[in-house]
Amino acid sequence: MKLTELFRQGKFVITSEVGPVKGCSRVNGGPPPEFIQEAVNIKDFVDAVNVTDNQSAVMRLGSLAASVLLKQQGIEPIFQMTCRDRNRLALQSDLLSACTLGIDNVLCLTGDHIKLGDHVASKPVFDIDSVHLLHIARGLNQGRDMMGNPLSRATDLALGAVVNPNFEPLDLQIMKMEKKIEQGAEFFQTQAVYDPKVFETFVRRAEGFRVPIQYGLVVIKSPKMAQYMNEHVSGITVPEALIKEMASVPADGYKAKAQEITLRLARELGTMVQGIHFMPLGWSELVPPVVTELRKLGK
């Protein structure tokens, strides 16, 4: 099911995210890899699950293979695709493969730089940017490759994109968002935002575009993790007040506190837009109770 269809129906779209394992995930009768189990556990509470593409430039199981594994479990995957590791031939080819293997949703991103990952000597590709990727993916949906060559059969993919409301100057980020829409973006997931004012300012700038937006929320798991994100994860700022709030409980209470904060932010910020995208970083068990509360609000 395409996410765009859910938005069209006026549904408040809730998605979550898993990161493929660093390793082969052939099951051979054993238990499924953890990320699949994680997705299975939340399957009845979310509309779809993002599958990250060598997240943070760390080499892992491929996003397409992992997306197909999710699909086989009855979970709707959102296949994340970055421009970091593949040139325009490989990206187009993988879009054809994705559609062939039953993928309905693709999230087109630039990708974290190689230098942030575990293969720093690798050659960064960045042959095209995320705006180009959207343009090209739309072309494949219309039955032609980026050189204008006809396809024997067009793809049929819902095209998602990302935007960072924390970016300064916001005007520049909005400019890129508009380009993404012009080139084919049909829905957006935002970078994690914790400051309601920042998100409200962004929403006011973006609501005229009439493209559905999902509020992005990385679950804060501990004060240390929040501090780490502030220091090492570009484009995300966790306000001091939130870090203090997390630190106000003992370590064995972090999960309960994380759930409380996640629900609060989802209510306050998520309801400003058309959906929420959770990034639980392994704490997927928080998603069902938070979603249950949100659905009670009619979301």
> Which residue number, 161 or 276, has a Cβ lying nearer to other proteins?
161
- Find the shortest distance in angstroms from Cβ 67 to other proteins: 22
- Find the shortest distance in angstroms from Cβ 190 to other proteins: 9
Quote the tokens at residue 247. 């630190």
> Which residue number, 21 or 236, has a Cβ lying nearer to other proteins?
236
Residue numbers at the binding site for other proteins (CB under 8 A): 83-84, 88, 110-113, 115-116, 124, 126-132, 135, 146, 162-164, 167-169, 171-173, 175-176, 178-179, 182-183, 191, 234-235, 237
> Which residue number, 193 or 243, has a Cβ lying nearer to other proteins?
193
- Find the shortest distance in angstroms from Cβ 221 to other proteins: 21
> Which residue number, 124 or 289, has a Cβ lying nearer to other proteins?
124
- Find the shortest distance in angstroms from Cβ 203 to other proteins: 17
* Alpha carbons 266 and 202: distance in angstroms, whole number: 16
> Which residue number, 234 or 292, has a Cβ lying nearer to other proteins?
234
* CA neighbor of 292 nearest in space, from 263, 265, 264, 272: 263
292: buried, middle or exposed (CB in 10 Å: 19+, 13-18, 0-12)? exposed
> Which residue number, 39 or 217, has a Cβ lying nearer to other proteins?
217
- Find the shortest distance in angstroms from Cβ 200 to other proteins: 19
Q: Which residue has the tokens 């924390």?
A: 166
- Find the shortest distance in angstroms from Cβ 171 to other proteins: 8
22: buried, middle or exposed (CB in 10 Å: 19+, 13-18, 0-12)? exposed
What's the Cα-to-Cα distance from 66 to each of 2, 75, 76, 103, rounded to whole Å?
18, 11, 12, 11
